[in-house]
Structures are given as structure tokens and as C-alpha cells.
């Protein structure tokens, strides 16, 4: 019984930081240090270390000599991730279509409206936030739990890649247009069209990444 409070805090810290990672609140510039997190939760370092090690074992973080960070992906690994996304996300989104609630559709509608406004403002941070809300809403409606958790895990790992591709002006209009079309397909419960649109969305992101990589000094 004496271990219950520690176990409870370990789980609470794990869930808190898992959520922050999945929502994009932790970036590649952030270093998670156990002493700082222990102060945040007013606990010893032990439950913090347990939570951070669990996140590391699950692939959300990697351990360094100066704390825990998001995993660093190499070029080939990023291309492999895009292939994985093409294989999993279109089908997952199709499965989610029938499960979306009216509240989910309202969330999607509001997020797409924010996405559309970025065409005028050019606010990449707002586009990223809207894209994350759209993505997370349909992913959480995927009925296959293992499929859902797999997507959440690798999407957390490639957040920086997504932010870079969203900064690609050439892709901006394409992505917003796909947001609009996906909303219409979700609202009409057209799973086949959702599947096609998600495939196009992933291809657009990959094309943007390759274009940006080609423009860089090491492309």
C-alpha cells in the first residue's frame, strides 16, 4: 500500500508528458530534466525517472547526458516514417469516419476554419495548431486501439518534420484545401473518400519535405 502514492504520481507524470508530446507542446529544443519535473510535481526524482524511462521505452523520448529529448531522426528514417504513414493513416481515418461524434465534427469544423484563415495571415503556428487538432480528433476516433496508439507514437516523433513542411509556402494552399475536403468527407461519412484524401495529404507532406531537403545545403 505504501507504493500506491508513488505509483500514482509516476502514472500522472507519464500521462501529463505523453499528452504534451502528442499535442506538440514539447519541441526538439526542449530538454526534460528530472529535477525540474520533480519540482513541478512536488515529488522526488524517482517517479519522474520512472515516467521518463517509460516514455523512452515506448519511443517518445531518448535519453541523453543532459536530459531527455524527442528522438532525433535521420533522413532515411523520416522517409521510412512517410511510408509507414501512407500504409496506416488512410485506412485508420476511414475506420474513424463512422465513429466521429457531432462534437468531433464541430471540433473539425472550427479547426478547418482556423486553417483557412492562415491563407490570409500566413501564421504557420496557427496552421500547425489547427492541423494538430484535426489530426488528433480523427485519430482518437479510430476504433482499433493498437492502430491508434501506433500512429500517435510515431507522429509524436516527427513533429519537427511536420512543422517544417507546414512552413513550405508552396504546400500551404494544398494542405488547407485538403483540410476542407477532409472535413466534407468526414461530415458526409464517406470513408472511401476520406481514405483517398489522407493518402493525398501524406504524399503532399512528403513532397514538401523532399522539396525543402533538396533546397538545403545538404540536399
pTM, 2 dp = 0.73
The pLDDT of residue 57: 85
The pLDDT of residue 29: 82
The pLDDT of residue 219: 39
Contacts of 155 (CB under 8 A, 6+ apart): 22, 135, 139, 162
Contacts of 190 (CB under 8 A, 6+ apart): 97
Using alpha carbons, list the distances in angstroms from residue 191 to 89, 139, 161: 12, 14, 27
The pLDDT of residue 122: 87
Domains of the chain from N-terminus onward? 4-69 (1.10.10.10), 75-215 (1.20.120.530)
* Spatial CA neighbour of 24 closest among 60, 73, 66: 60
Please say whether the beta carbons of 147 and 90 come within 8 A: no
The pLDDT of residue 160: 65
Using alpha carbons, list the distances in angstroms from residue 94 to 100, 163, 195: 11, 25, 5
Q: What are phi and psi of 73, to 5 degrees?
A: -105, 140
Please say whether the beta carbons of 158 and 135 come within 8 A: no
The pLDDT of residue 4: 54
Q: Given 3-state DSSP classes, what are the helix, strand and coil percentages for the chain, each rounded to the nearest 5?
A: 75, 5, 20
The pLDDT of residue 1: 41
Question: Which residue is it, cell 523532399?
Answer: 210
Q: How far apart are CA 85 and CA 89, in angstroms?
A: 5
Residues β-bridged to residue 64: 67
The pLDDT of residue 21: 80
Q: Using one digit for the tens of pLDDT, what is the confidence trace for 51-101?
A: 999 998 877 888 998 899 988 778 898 899 999 999 999 999 999 999 999
pLDDT tens string for the chain (219 positions)? 445 555 689 999 999 998 888 676 887 789 999 999 999 999 999 999 999 999 988 778 889 988 999 887 788 988 999 999 999 999 999 999 999 999 999 999 999 999 999 999 988 878 888 998 999 999 999 999 999 999 988 887 776 677 678 777 888 899 999 999 999 999 999 999 999 999 999 999 999 888 887 754 443
Amino acid at each position: 500500500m505504501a507504493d500506491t502514492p508513488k505509483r500514482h504520481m509516476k502514472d500522472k507524470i507519464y500521462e501529463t508528458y505523453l499528452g504534451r508530446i502528442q499535442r506538440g507542446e514539447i519541441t526538439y529544443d526542449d530538454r526534460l530534466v528530472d529535477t525540474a519535473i520533480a519540482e513541478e510535481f512536488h515529488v522526488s526524482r524517482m517517479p519522474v525517472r520512472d515516467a521518463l524511462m517509460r516514455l523512452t521505452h515506448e519511443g517518445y523520448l531518448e535519453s541523453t547526458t543532459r536530459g531527455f529529448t524527442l528522438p532525433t531522426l535521420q533522413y532515411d528514417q523520416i522517409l521510412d516514417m512517410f511510408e509507414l504513414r501512407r500504409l496506416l493513416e488512410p485506412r485508420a481515418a476511414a475506420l474513424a469516419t463512422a465513429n466521429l461524434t457531432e462534437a468531433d465534427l464541430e471540433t473539425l469544423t472550427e479547426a478547418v476554419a482556423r486553417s483557412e484563415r492562415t491563407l490570409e495571415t500566413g501564421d504557420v503556428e496557427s496552421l500547425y495548431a489547427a492541423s494538430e487538432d484535426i489530426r488528433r480528433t480523427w485519430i482518437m476516433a479510430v476504433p482499433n486501439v493498437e492502430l491508434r496508439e501506433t500512429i500517435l507514437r510515431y507522429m509524436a516523433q516527427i513533429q519537427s518534420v511536420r512543422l517544417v513542411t507546414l512552413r513550405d509556402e508552396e504546400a500551404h494552399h494544398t494542405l488547407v484545401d485538403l483540410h476542407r475536403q477532409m472535413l466534407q468527407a468526414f461530415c458526409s461519412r464517406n470513408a472511401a473518400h476520406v481514405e483517398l484524401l489522407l493518402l493525398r495529404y501524406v504524399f503532399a507532406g512528403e513532397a514538401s519535405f523532399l522539396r525543402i531537403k533538396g533546397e538545403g545545403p545538404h540536399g
